[in-house]
Each structure stands twice: as structure tokens, then as C-alpha cells.
Amino acid sequence: MGSSLARQKGTTTWQLLGTRTTSTAGFAAVAHKPAAGHDYQWIYAGNSSLLGARSAVASVGVRPIVTASASASSIRLGGSVLIRGGVTPAHPLQVVYLQRYVSGKWVGVATGRLSSRSTYSFTIKPTMRGTYTYRVARPADVDHLATTSVTRTFKVS
């Protein structure tokens, strides 16, 4: 009989997910759907004739979802486009970055802070005609991986 343990990344306390009896081949399975990154470990406590053992720690990273919408798909020169969205699970007051795709690479153009409801908005007022592509990036933190929104493209005529 063994125990499955988990701890959220950035914490030191292990929590019991359950106890299981291994198969004759020595395998056991536990299902867990984390909302944040977790470390997992299997512990066999042993018995009167066998010494206990621990597995190596296995880490699972979780990416938040960054949503993004644009207020227009085309505007006239002098107009503006609002790109807004949110981060799930909530990360209030954390920093997000507006990035523009230029010459084959992503370039940071603005920094914003998520609201208390984990939402953001950026107003873009292009100075030239053309096609513009943007996304919003959220950097990694202790319990979540870095992630970006889908791209939003609009034309300026």
C-alpha cells in the first residue's frame, strides 16, 4: 500500500491525495486536476519484511488562460483600438505585457497591471497605415507557467 502526495508549487506542505495498492507489476494511478503547478510523489511505507521508499518528485506546470478581444478589425488612421481581456485563474494586480509582432518577432510595447478582477485593457492608436498584430503576455510566477493570449490583428487605412 502506498500514498500519493501533492504540493502546490511555491509551498512546502505535502497533502495526501489518496492511498493505493499497487498492481502486481508495481504500478498505481491517481487522478488529480490541478489549477496551479504541483509537485507529486509516491511513498511506499513498507511492511515488516520490506523497507519503505519514495519516488522522485514529478512536477507538473499549469498555464493560465489569457483572453483577448479587439474592439475593431479595421480602423481609419487617427482612430484607436481597445484590446482587453483577463487571466484565469485570477492573478489580481500582476503585470501583463502588450506585445506587437514586428519583422518576425514579438516586441514589448506596453506594460499593464491586472485589475482586482484580473482583467486588463490597452488602447492602441497607430500612427501609420498597415496591418497590426498584438498579443498579451503573462510572465511565469511561482505556481504558473508563462503564457500568452491569442493574437489580435487589425488594419489601419
73 vs 125, 137, 155, 156, CA distance in Å? 13, 20, 6, 9
54 vs 57, 90, 99, CA distance in Å? 9, 34, 44
Closest CA to 149 of 75, 96, 105, 102: 96
- Give the pLDDT score at 28: 74
Give the Cα separation of 95 and 80 in Å (integer).
Answer: 23
The topology under which CATH files domain 65-156 is Immunoglobulin-like (2.60.40)
- Give the pLDDT score at 137: 98
Query: What's the whole-model pTM score?
Result: 0.79
For 51, which DSSP code? Answer: -
- Give the pLDDT score at 48: 67
The rounded average pLDDT for each run of 10 residues, N- to C-terminus, in the chain (157 residues) is 87 89 76 89 76 85 95 96 96 96 97 97 96 97 94 97
Give the Cα separation of 46 and 65 in Å (integer).
Answer: 42
